Amino acid sequence: MTRKKLIAGNWKMNETIPEAVVLAQEISNLADPAALDAVDVAVCPPFVDLKPVKTVLEFDRVNIALGAQNVYWEPAGAFTGEISIPMIKEIGCTYCIVGHSERRNLFGETNEGVNLKARALIEAGIAPIVCVGESLSVRDEGVYLDFVTSQVRAAFAGMDAEDAVRAVVAYEPVWAIGTGRTATPEQAEEVCAAIRATLAELFGDDVAQQVRVLYGGSMNEGNAALLLVQPDIDGGLIGGAALKAVSFIEIVKAAR
């Protein structure tokens, strides 16, 4: 089965509102409508930038979706500092990243929390981009496939096939995040294929063949093409290169 590729930019904690508007405008200006038909493209700015970025994309009628970088699973209430799913839905988010390794490692996000967020997002009609990936020590110990597939099992726990098919998984080896070091296409493909095999085991081959598995971790315009031709890599979650409109759009072109 051919899966439409997805290129999603994770802007992390970058860009004030005026800066975000400029970046969104630059991406919109450079985007070729034919490429945007062939590839799903999303930008995931910080919460405060979501609305202004949405306004730019809507004004330009450009086919680029919006995603948040995190969310809380309860719909409302006394959760100081959190943002709810109805809030990001009202702004127009199609996607929401969950379980990025920076959230797991710096903010104590657990497999259980990732699961609650992913399930609540699916119920609300927003596709979670569930991030999984091993540290360098886990890779060096040689147990990275077990580690990553157990993160996948935990994230998808309690879902049925109908839920699972609406999720996206991003394999982001922690040793390749913000380090400039990228997994080789073979390393990335090995883990993405294992993720798909786990989804097949949990939900059947039909579901596994529909779920998009992205690679993330220092993907850029120089290495994207070789990663994106791998059979089990269905796109990219882009960090630093998503902050440069030219680089981001080159990656989108490489995904066609």
Interface residues toward ligand 3PY, by CB under 6 A: 10, 100, 172, 177-178, 216-218, 237, 239
Closest distance of CB 226 from ligand 3PY, Å: 16
Residue with CB nearest ligand 3PY?
239
* 113 is annotated as contributing to ligand binding: no
Closest distance of CB 97 from ligand 3PY, Å: 7
* 63 is annotated as contributing to ligand binding: no
Active site residues: 100, 172
Residues 6+ apart with CB under 8 A from 203: 156, 159, 160, 161, 164, 165
| Strand partners of residue 84 | 72
- DSSP 8-state class, residue 32: -
Closest distance of CB 35 from ligand 3PY, Å: 21
Question: Pairing mode, if any, of strands 127-132 and 168-171?
Answer: parallel
Closest distance of CB 83 from ligand 3PY, Å: 19
Considering beta carbons, is residue 114 or 202 the nearer one to ligand 3PY? 114
Closest distance of CB 92 from ligand 3PY, Å: 21
Amino acid at residue number 10: N
Q: How far apart are CA 101 and CA 82, in angstroms?
A: 19
Considering beta carbons, is residue 161 or 222 the nearer one to ligand 3PY? 222
Considering beta carbons, is residue 125 or 178 the nearer one to ligand 3PY? 178
The dihedral over CA atoms of 87, 89, 91, 97, expressed in degrees to the nearest 10, equals: 90
237 within 8 A of 172, measured Cβ to Cβ? yes
* 67 is annotated as contributing to ligand binding: no
* 111 is annotated as contributing to ligand binding: no
Tokens of 183: 């997994």
Long-range contacts of 23-29 (CB under 8 A, 24+ apart): 23/243, 23/245, 24/52, 24/53, 24/56, 24/57, 25/56, 25/60, 26/245, 27/64, 27/245, 27/248, 27/249, 28/56, 28/57, 28/60, 28/62, 28/64, 29/245
Considering beta carbons, is residue 207 or 237 the nearer one to ligand 3PY? 237
Tokens of 114: 């990732």
* 142 is annotated as contributing to ligand binding: no
* 218 is annotated as contributing to ligand binding: yes
**Residues of each annotated binding site for substrate:** 10-12, 178, 218, 239-240
Q: Which residues are annotated as a binding site?
A: 10-12, 178, 218, 239-240
